[in-house]
Structure 1
């Protein structure tokens, strides 16, 4: 069984080193690339004002988030859900940088970068030179993202889980073979029960066909076929 988590964050801005904070974390569980239905989702009090530019992206104001848990309060549950499995995100270094900052601030170890799977990198390798945003990939793969009127971490991870499945081949490995019953011959057919006798069916050219062939060979310089035709038959 191969377990992985698809993760997304929403933040107050672009850089935790300038004071921006995480305000939403969502993750869904995949087993063999398929969502299991288990997920982690929490809104977080960022402990600071949310700039208007960020509000336009995800729709969350500080007034909406005041009184929500602080990151330090939700970190243990988040880390338990993530476990030690790969963490998939779109433009993953962005999310990991914010989680690094928040986890260090809360006194927790950061998530090992060896676990990071960046779907943006995968998409750029698959579609070089093309737009590879989450919306662009949804359109390319025919995934309905009509509900995505703003960035929402929980909706985004659900969409990204479908995109990741497509990037990895479009179907669960082994699913088709596992779901198909073994095909066997009907019991009434016993192929090895009846001996088969092959009847020779030689192709014998007519006199007219032989004459036409000989006329063709007369036009060929030293034709080998003519020598074969003139050899006497074996006794």
Structure 2
């Protein structure tokens, strides 16, 4: 009888967790895509416009760097509230997992830009010089030399971004963003169901481990050194 009760309890707990887990995966997946789409070109521009690089332009570099620094300095919970109007314009609402994708993407974008910048700056300048001497265009240098050489670092950086977005998504639950964070607050905090809170934490830990493991494998696969 005890086993039957335990089975029923675990089944109920799983039914409670699954919808929130799906919402979290949905938010993290699309937020990662949009943040990379926005942050990758921004990071590339920061590198190629830096002093002595292939498209040096210190004015543009300084302006973009300042914007990135300002965006990174705003706490995520404040950022969500600040861009409520933008979320409403884009998705028609400020509540739910779809609405949370907007602030999640914007918050992660400058983080991605800095990760891309750091990864590309590690590329050996001699390789870039050799490409220039062979008549490669700026686009070819960026795509076939810089990104290709920095790919393992970029993969590890994006892995770190995904984990950060996962943490942000939990915070988004505090103001109706849905997902595991919302579940932890509603059940674990407001209803004092410690078991749900612990289960949520365990699921988040498992997700982080899976993401980091997959990122490490991909980085090793593309590392030609």
Scaled by the length of structure 2, the TM-score of the pair is: 0.21
- Name the TM-score, length of structure 1 as normaliser: 0.21
User: Larger helix proportion, structure 1 or 2?
Assistant: 2
Based on CA coordinates, which of the two structures has the bigger radius of gyration? Answer: 1
Q: Relative contact order: is structure 1 or structure 2 higher (C-alpha 8 Å, sep ≥ 6)?
A: 2
